[in-house]
Amino acid sequence: MSEQPKPAGGCGAALADDLGWALGVLLRAYSKAASTVLAAVPGGPRGYQVLTAVGRSDPRSQLELANQLGVDRTVMTYLLDDLERAGLIERRPDPADRRARRIVATPAGRELACSLTKRLNEAENHVLAGLPGQRDREMFRSLLERLASHVNTLDPVASACDLARETHGVVGTRG
Amino acid sequence: MSEQPKPAGGCGAALADDLGWALGVLLRAYSKAASTVLAAVPGGPRGYQVLTAVGRSDPRSQLELANQLGVDRTVMTYLLDDLERAGLIERRPDPADRRARRIVATPAGRELACSLTKRLNEAENHVLAGLPGQRDREMFRSLLERLASHVNTLDPVASACDLARETHGVVGTRG
DNA sequence: TATTGTTATACTCTATAACTATA
DNA sequence: TATAGTTATAGAGTATAACAATA
What's the pLDDT at A154? 65
In whole angstroms, what is the distance from residue A62 CA to residue A44 CA?
Answer: 18
Check pLDDT > 60 for residue A166: no
A 10 A CB-CB count for A149 gives 14
Q: Which residues of B touch A130 (CB under 8 A)?
A: 146-151
In this prediction, residue A150 has a pLDDT band, given cuts at 50, 70 and 90, of: confident
pTM for this structure? 0.75
Q: What gap in Å lies between CA B43 and CA A113, rounded to an integer?
A: 39
How far is it, in rounded angstroms, from Cα A39 to Cα A37?
Answer: 6
Position A160 confidence tier, pLDDT thresholds 50, 70, 90: very low
DSSP 3-state helix, strand, coil percentages of chain B (rounded to 5)? 65, 10, 25
Q: For position B154, what pLDDT does the model report? A: 65
- Cross-chain residue pair A118–B23, CB shorter than 8 Å: no
Which residues of chain B have a CB within 8 Å of the CB of A49? 174
The reported pLDDT for the residue numbered A55 is 85
pLDDT digits 0-9 by tens, A25-44: 888 888 888 888 888 899 98
pLDDT at B79 over 90: yes
B74 touches strand D (CB under 7 A): yes
The answer to whether the CB of B27 falls within 8 A of the CB of B167 is yes
Residue of A nearest to B109 (CA): A5
B23: which chain A residues are within 8 Å (Cβ-Cβ)? 23, 26-27, 30, 144, 148
Please report the pLDDT score of residue A173 as a whole number. Answer: 26
Q: What are phi and psi of B5, to 5 degrees?
A: -70, 140
Q: Which residue of chain A comes nearest to B146, CA vs CA?
A: A130
For residues A153 and B130, what is the distance between their CA atoms, to the nearest angstrom?
Answer: 10
What's the whole-number mean pLDDT along residues A138-156? 82
Q: Which of B28, B20, B75, B55 is nearest to A29 (CA)?
A: B20
Name the percent of chain B lying above pLDDT 70: 77
pLDDT number for residue A170: 28
B155–A16: do the CB atoms touch at under 8 Å? no
- Who among A30, A48, A175 is closest to B19 (CB)? A30
| DSSP secondary structure code for residue A3 in this structure | -
pLDDT value, residue A106: 95
Predicted confidence at residue A83, as pLDDT, reads 96
- pLDDT digits 0-9 by tens, B45-59: 899 999 999 988 788
Rounded-to-integer distance, Cα B175 and Cα B173, Å: 6
Give the tens place of pLDDT for each residue, A90-130. 999 999 999 999 999 999 999 999 999 999 888 888 888 88
Q: Which of A110-114, A164-168, B36-40, B105-109 has the lowest mean pLDDT?
A: A164-168
pLDDT at A58: 80
The nucleotide minimizing the C1' distance to residue B73's CA is: D5
pLDDT, mean over chain B = 78
Q: What's the pLDDT at A11?
A: 59
Question: Which 3 state secondary structure label does DSSP give A41?
Answer: coil
Q: Pick the most confident of A124-138, B13-27, B97-111, B144-158.
A: B97-111
Mean pLDDT of chain A: 78
Percentage above 70 pLDDT, chain A? 78
